Structure 1
Amino acid sequence: MFRLADDLRVYLHREPIDFRAGINSLAILVEQSMGLNPFERAVFAFCNRRRTRMKLLFFDRSGFVLMLKALTEDKFRWPLRQETVVPLDAEQLHWLLDGIDLDAMVRHPVRQYEFVG
């Protein structure tokens, strides 16, 4: 299994896409539909209508990389949020790839303390 850098930004395209789309089509989708820069240090995730396949697109110094994960018996639990682009961190993407429902997960809030005691 591969691991992404912890500080890498991840953006999910919430709506399913035509999975015949290749690198160029997905890079244009990132730019025009998602309003993001496909060359930034980020991973862009896409899913098919049946939620059985996921494509990850990112730019790696000299060119684009396209990865595909296909499930044979299960489905990805794609977030059911309203926004077109769902921002995640690398850890959440790994959870999604492992089949965890991100909408069901609740973390402790991040707290900032000024005093010990």
Structure 2
Amino acid sequence: MLGDITVAKEIYIAYGYTDMRKSIDGLAAIVQEQFHLDPFSKCLFLFCGKRRNRMKALMWESDGFVLLYKRLENGNFKWPRRETEVRPISWQEFRWLMEGLEIEQKGAIKPALPGAFC
């Protein structure tokens, strides 16, 4: 299905600025060469420009790449700016990002790992 991002196994956010003139080939090259990840995996890769009001998402479907582009009319994305870094984010962090919030919410309850009693 065209652009169904819910099939993505993981979401990766590219910190820092990305040249928004880059298209599918340029963004796939960043994923492969700079971040050492496989652009053909079932992952969603997120990129943001310098003004932080535009975002591109790249994902491989079984027959080709899908490139999604979002431009905000009011406000900007709270995009992390550590240079040349990529990290996986959860679906909850993705929702926060799309709602104009930072992906690292200080007041959020973090998922707990199962532990031993006593």
- Which 4+ residue blocks in structure 1 deviate beyond 6 angstroms? none
Partner of 1:12: 13
Identical columns (%)? 32
SS at match of 2:30: helix
Task: Give TM-score, length-normalised by structure 2.
Answer: 0.83
Structure 1 gap ranges (5+):
none
Partner of 1:73: 74
SS at match of 1:66: strand
SS at match of 2:6: coil
Structure 2 gap ranges (5+):
none
Partner of 2:98: 97
Paired amino acid for 1:75:
N
Paired amino acid for 1:69:
K
Q: Is contact 2:16-2:83 (8 Å) kept?
A: no
Aligned length: 115
Partner of 1:27: 28
Superposition RMSD on alpha carbons, in Å? 2.4
Partner of 2:37: 36
SS at match of 1:32: helix
SS at match of 2:113: coil
Deviates more, 1:104-113 or 1:38-47: 104-113
